[in-house]
Structure 1
Amino acid sequence: MKRALLASCLSLLFGAAHADVDYQLRIANAAQHLAEVRASFPAATSSTLDVHMPNWRTGRYQILNLANGVRQFKAVNDKGEELPVAKTDKGTWRVQTRPGDKVTVVYELYANVLGERTRHIDDTHAYLDASGVFVYADAYRQQPVAVKLDVPAGWQSRSGMDNGACGAHCFVAPNYDVLIDSPIETGIHEFYTSHVDGKQIDVAIWGRGNYDSKQMVADLNKIVHQTGQLYGGKYPFQQRYLFIVHATDGVGGATEHINSTVIQRPRWMFHKRKDYLGFLNTAAHEFFHTWNVKAYRPKEMVPYDYQRENYNPLLWVAEGNTSYFEELITLRAGLQKRDEFMESFAKEIDDYLHQPGRFQQSASEASFDEWIAQGGERARNAQVNIYNKGQLLGLAMDLELRRQTKGAKGLEDVHRILFEQHSVAQGGYDAAHIKAALRQVSGQDWSGWWSQYVDGKAEIPFETLLQTVGERYLVDVPKDAEDKQEWWAGWRVKDGSDPALVTEVERDSPAWKAGVVAGDTLVAVNGLRVSAKDLGDKLSLAKAGPFKVHLFRRDELRELDLNPVLQPKGKARIKAFDKPTTDQKALNAAWLGVAWPKDEKK
């Protein structure tokens, strides 16, 4: 585009939108992941202007140091005179200016972090989340913004934001908070538009893969409708929502936004039933977030503070309850089968029961500490996961509410109250608001329950809860299994490692008591060489303990005595009662939103 035409277009765009903060991004070298960014701010009211790049992005509760992609940062006034700039912290630049001068900052941006879902540019597309792309100034955070992209010929640009006056590569937003929550996908992609409940639902798919585009769009529409039903048909966005799907070389994940979501899956993980169901559950999770987190969220995150941690004790509600509803949404939408739903929850319960950290950290503590949460062995032994714990607390809350109201009400009614009475515009919610909503729905006081299971570390009574809906949790041993039991040591080893590399040791397990630690390399059990593949088989050769374990630690050979325990050899399952009562079947149907199956396999 010629300079005069570009200037005319920008003038038209900014004048029509009455934008006070103007952004331009030019892809300078797509293959090398480089762009030039310009941000123009209104006339300064003081002698300095602090300009920030966020230190984290919404939906990821971790400091990401997003300013690390910025180089060659400079500032000029509206006369083109260069202004002095000094960095005051890792994500802040202080510009020296004069009152009345407009300020434009220019910098080179390196964008090659696709898996973080912040910024990625290559020769086929650019994914731009403002948190890692566009700087802001506190004084103008609530001012209208406009974005103009200069991209290669043939590219198309999509966003949950509205287009600006100068065409398909322009977007406008009422403020920076909307911009930062409205990522842009520009490049070569498939694009589909449909309508659900009077809303326009757009789908942009980047990357080749083994997906069925038409089936994907149809199933996403079912998710949209079913989620809307949970909230009585009330949607938090106005007219349009965008699903951005990335079929990648290996990275995966997803992030919610106020008018869109981005979902990343390895390109060959769409076809198999299990893989595709994982994609649909992820889509349901992110779309539910359009209400839970984007429309209403813990008050400590209203408004977001982009420069530091937003501590709060309720991320288990924001994230974990969302994980709970993702399964219900796909089940009620007819995308997931009843036995698949039960299998998924059995796996969640089994995983949770093998987390000694559940006795070390409460749900509220885990939420507050999510910003410093660790992975690996320490995660399992000393903490709980806000997604897993919050999902299972969601199950517990829902089933208890169903019992208390004889099936008339459930956890979705609590979330409707939060949506209607404690939105972001109303200041968000706190623990007292949730307990009040629970009381409003059930007529019961939930303070004691909250003290035990949210602020405390009491064991969730899965057996009692599931019994109310005619189900039971058990380890199901196949009838034709040659061996009904197996030795359990409590270690986890790296898949495919030979010899077997220990990655985790469960607290107070036989391996823990024997002195095995993460990082040990197991070479033999009872004199027999072992690998990750045959470790279980070698253990099964011994009929009684103790076992002699040989391992390397710091390249030194050690011998330890291990006393594993026998446990049922099978898969955790949730199974229906053979003869459920009428009340149990009714509560089950109210909970799942599907009728009790007449030919349920026992």
Structure 2
Amino acid sequence: MKSHRTLIPALVPALVLAGLVATPPLAAQSAGSVRSAPMAVAPDDLIPAPRDVPYPGTIALEIDATDVARGVYRVTERIPVAEGTSRLTLLLPEWIPGAHAPRGRSEQVADLRFYAGDKLLTWKRDTVDVFAFHVDVPAGTREVTARFVHTSPLQSSEGRITMTGEMLNLEWDLMSFYPAGHYVRQVKIRPTVTFPKGWRVFTALDGAQGPGATSPVADTGPNRVTWNETDYETLVDSPIFAGIHAGRWDLGQNVAMNVVADDPKLLAIKPENLATYRNLVNEAVALYGSRHFDHYEFLLALTDRMGGIGLEHHRSSENQMEPTSWTDWAGMDWDRNVIPHELSHSWDGKFRRPARLWTPDYRQPMGNHLLWVYEGQNQFWGYVLAARSGVQSKDVVLGQFASNAANFVDSPGRAWRSVEDTTLDPIMAARKPKPYASLTRGEDYYTEGALVWLEADQIIRAGTGGKKGMDDFAKAFFGIRDGDWGTVTYEFGDLVTTLNAIYPYDWDKFLRERIEQPGRPAPLAGIEQGGYQLVWRDTPNPFEKGRFADARVLSLTWSLGMSVDKDAKVTGVRWGGPAFEAGLVSGTKIVSVNGRAYDPAVLRDAITAAKAAPAGGPAPLTFVVQRGDAVRTVSIDYRGGLRYPWLEKVPGKGPAGLDLLLAPRLPAPVAAKAKAK
């Protein structure tokens, strides 16, 4: 009798011909050895694809958001079920519009139970898609009720904090299910939320009924607010800001500024400063020549307790600024670009959207390849509208352009990675800190995209004798179909066609070279054609001065090639810079500089003094540094002094192209009294 080792190979051909087993890999058939090699098992696909058909019935969603002490939202969701349904697949949103990545938070849903009447149902999470839940439905069931809690992070290490003792930011996608198998626009839902007593509630949802939706605020009894029935797509696109210290200002054009704050004193905005937001609305509508909303709600939190955010929606936007951004108007000038940026998104990103960034539900992955338009051009317009309106000063806007441009000078990451490839960074990196961001690059499609569009503006301006610019493109591309607040998608070719209609040029080549090719020169052409040049000074520009002071960071990015936080720890190192060459890395603590205990002023003075050190002499900078338990002395031979980027106007007659771009298009309205409603 043959051994099992010889018998099994002998039987394999016959079994294969009989269709009983698959052909084993060659490695498993080699003489003198047996090596088991399994075949792949296809995962079960139990989730129906979305179809553009209505879901039967209307979902009722009720959220109790009163437990601000514990940061808990308690949710009850009643989902109608069609007759004969035996399994209901429910989805939590995963790919969130505006996040450009799968940023859903299924781990924050807890204590989940499903019921048919009083009967507890059996459910299982999908083993492949953890945002999908399969619920077994008994015969005759016409409604399934989900009960669960959504747990807001209590500290930043756990995620973004959405609830504090003074305010909350309720995002529906974090705490609601939708049925699989349907476009989200085909799912009807009626939402209700109970808030703490006395809180004001702000959202773009229509038909609010309840104390928190009125003014003055009722401070007794349940603060329960219900809105009109809507579709799930509109619901997810209409988040809530609510708080005890709140105000609302009419900005005209059916636009309102809704603000919650850590303290009521933070709401005290001067009339002339409030007028800049009215200017902003008017300048934006003039730029695009249309409105793609019936009303628009700025949702702004002046806080350092709730997590930061800047997220676009069609008829609203979620914005956070530092607490004193309104009361210290000059000192916080650097912090106010988020509002112009997010307003511009109503046209660029929400109404007109790259075709692969529109999806029928929140499960289908999004294609990011045109984010250098969606975000890059919007970054450009955010700067322009901030300067035109006065929401930010022109000097701060020029500082932002300067800082962006400087980041791409001698940038090692640009040698190997294109702007196009950085559009995938939100998916790959999820904005986590990187040890050598200058080498790996990040979401550079924002700022390098803005500089590419600045160059395009100057090319059009020069080619038409100043008669046209990117304003004409914005109106022709994003301003179509006034009053339409749906979505119109586009592809790369649509950009080229519209640009050529504004000014004939080889725009296909222009864009492909700058966006798709790595190793390009630093994107300074638009600045230079606009009559400015990037220069280096020994003090930060107005934008960086404010930003660094608020963060309590000593930035030496363009000198030693590192930054240092308030605790004397290195927080970032530029690849190939002097600090990098000396072996300094993130997390290293600086103990002393040239024999003196570390202090930001001591280090700045030492860098300045090193400029006078004789060439060929010993390294002028000596550091004692600590990393973990190891303490060592490091010498850095750097004599270039402090260097910070500025835009400096090239001498010439009349306003330069960049000046013309940033100049207001409309006369500023008279400042109205800054009184909240």
What range describes the TM-score normalised by the shorter chain of this pair? Answer: 0.7 to 0.9
Greater Cα radius of gyration, structure 1 or 2: 2
1:66 pairs with 2:105: yes
- Cα separation, partners in 2 of 1:487 and 1:572, compared to 1, 3 Å: closer
Q: How far, CA to CA, are the matches of 2:238 and 2:640 in structure 1?
A: 53
Higher strand share: 1
- Cα separation, partners in 2 of 1:552 and 1:493, compared to 1, 3 Å: same
1:103 pairs with 2:144: yes
* Alignment match, 1:11: none
Greater displacement, 545-554 / 306-315: 545-554
Greater displacement, 205-214 / 143-152: 205-214
- Cα separation, partners in 2 of 1:123 and 1:556, compared to 1, 3 Å: closer
* Alignment match, 1:53: 92
Q: Is the 8 A contact 2:123 2:133 kept in 1?
A: yes
1:151 pairs with 2:198: no
SS of 1:408's equivalent in the other structure is: coil
* Alignment match, 1:378: 436
1:472 pairs with 2:533: yes
Q: How far, CA to CA, are the matches of 1:225 and 1:285 in structure 2?
A: 15
- Return the match for 1:320 from 360, 376, 394: 376
Which amino acid letter does the alignment assign opposite residue 477 of structure 2? L
Q: Which residues in structure 2 correspond to 1:194-593 (within 5 Å)?
A: 194=250, 196-197=252-253, 199-208=254-263, 209-213=265-269, 215=271, 217-232=274-289, 234-238=290-294, 240-250=295-305, 251-303=307-359, 305-307=361-363, 309-353=365-409, 355-373=411-429, 374-384=432-442, 385-419=444-478, 428-459=489-520, 464-476=525-537, 490-497=560-567, 500-523=568-591, 530-542=598-610, 543-544=613-614, 545-547=617-619, 550-560=624-634, 562-566=636-640, 569=642, 571-580=644-653, 585=655, 587-588=657-658, 590-593=660-663
Work out the percentage of aligned pairs sharing the same amino acid: 22
* Alignment match, 1:6: none
- Cα separation, partners in 2 of 1:29 and 1:508, compared to 1, 3 Å: closer
- Cα separation, partners in 2 of 1:95 and 1:357, compared to 1, 3 Å: same
Deviation at 1:339, TM superposition (A): 3.2
Q: How far, CA to CA, are the matches of 1:112 and 1:370 in structure 2?
A: 21
Deviation at 1:189, TM superposition (A): 3.9
* Alignment match, 1:599: none
* Alignment match, 1:41: 79
Q: How far, CA to CA, are the matches of 2:371 and 2:145 in structure 1?
A: 38
Task: Specify which structure has the bigger relative contact order, considering alpha-carbon pairs within 8 angstroms and separated by 6 or more residues.
Answer: 2
Q: How far, CA to CA, are the matches of 1:119 and 1:148 in structure 2?
A: 22
| CA deviation vs aligned residue, 1:404-428 (integer Å, no higher than 9, x gap) | 2322222233333332569995651
Which amino acid letter does the alignment assign opposite residue 629 of structure 2? D
Which amino acid letter does the alignment assign opposite residue 218 of structure 1? A
* Alignment match, 2:35: none
Which amino acid letter does the alignment assign opposite residue 105 of structure 1? A
Higher helix share: 1
Greater displacement, 343-352 / 358-367: 343-352
SS of 1:220's equivalent in the other structure is: helix
Which amino acid letter does the alignment assign opposite residue 578 of structure 2? P
SS of 1:428's equivalent in the other structure is: strand
* Alignment match, 1:4: none
Q: Is the 8 A contact 1:119 1:133 kept in 2?
A: no
Deviation at 1:507, TM superposition (A): 1.8
Greater displacement, 458-467 / 374-383: 458-467
Q: Is the 8 A contact 2:596 2:602 kept in 1?
A: no
SS of 2:266's equivalent in the other structure is: coil
Q: Is the 8 A contact 1:56 1:131 kept in 2?
A: no
> Which residues of structure 1 form unaligned runs of 5+?
1-17, 479-485, 596-602
1:161 pairs with 2:195: no
| CA deviation vs aligned residue, 1:431-464 (integer Å, no higher than 9, x gap) | 2222222222221121222232110135456655
Q: How far, CA to CA, are the matches of 2:421 and 2:403 in structure 1?
A: 24
Q: Is the 8 A contact 1:21 1:145 kept in 2?
A: yes
* Alignment match, 2:174: 132
Q: How far, CA to CA, are the matches of 2:593 and 2:247 in structure 1?
A: 56
Deviation at 1:57, TM superposition (A): 3.3
Deviation at 1:292, TM superposition (A): 1.1
Q: Is the 8 A contact 1:377 1:506 kept in 2?
A: no
Q: How far, CA to CA, are the matches of 1:378 and 1:506 in structure 2?
A: 6
SS of 1:264's equivalent in the other structure is: strand
Q: How far, CA to CA, are the matches of 2:334 and 2:110 in structure 1?
A: 38
| CA deviation vs aligned residue, 1:198-222 (integer Å, no higher than 9, x gap) | x242524343253434646433222
Q: Is the 8 A contact 2:310 2:318 kept in 1?
A: yes
Greater displacement, 101-110 / 308-317: 308-317
* Alignment match, 1:5: none
Q: How far, CA to CA, are the matches of 1:329 and 1:365 in structure 2?
A: 28
Q: How far, CA to CA, are the matches of 1:99 and 1:402 in structure 2?
A: 68
Q: How far, CA to CA, are the matches of 1:146 and 1:222 in structure 2?
A: 36
Greater displacement, 322-331 / 139-148: 139-148
TM-score by length of 2: 0.74
Q: How far, CA to CA, are the matches of 1:336 and 1:124 in structure 2?
A: 28
Deviation at 1:558, TM superposition (A): 4.1
Q: Is the 8 A contact 1:396 1:460 kept in 2?
A: no
Q: Is the 8 A contact 1:492 1:503 kept in 2?
A: yes
- Cα separation, partners in 2 of 1:425 and 1:118, compared to 1, 3 Å: farther
* Alignment match, 1:10: none
Deviation at 1:128, TM superposition (A): 0.9
Q: How far, CA to CA, are the matches of 2:458 and 2:298 in structure 1?
A: 32
Deviation at 1:281, TM superposition (A): 2.0
Q: How far, CA to CA, are the matches of 2:580 and 2:508 in structure 1?
A: 37
SS of 2:451's equivalent in the other structure is: helix
User: How many equivalent pairs are there?
Assistant: 561
- Cα separation, partners in 2 of 1:346 and 1:124, compared to 1, 3 Å: closer
Q: How far, CA to CA, are the matches of 1:560 and 1:152 in structure 2?
A: 56
Q: Is the 8 A contact 1:331 1:337 kept in 2?
A: yes
Q: How far, CA to CA, are the matches of 2:477 and 2:525 in structure 1?
A: 28
| CA deviation vs aligned residue, 1:22-54 (integer Å, no higher than 9, x gap) | 111123633212232111222236321111222
* Alignment match, 2:131: 91
| CA deviation vs aligned residue, 1:141-194 (integer Å, no higher than 9, x gap) | 322211112334333332101025778411135311110010123342433242
Which amino acid letter does the alignment assign opposite residue 650 of structure 2? F
Q: How far, CA to CA, are the matches of 1:150 and 1:463 in structure 2?
A: 52
Q: Is the 8 A contact 2:355 2:489 kept in 1?
A: yes
Q: How far, CA to CA, are the matches of 1:420 and 1:540 in structure 2?
A: 51
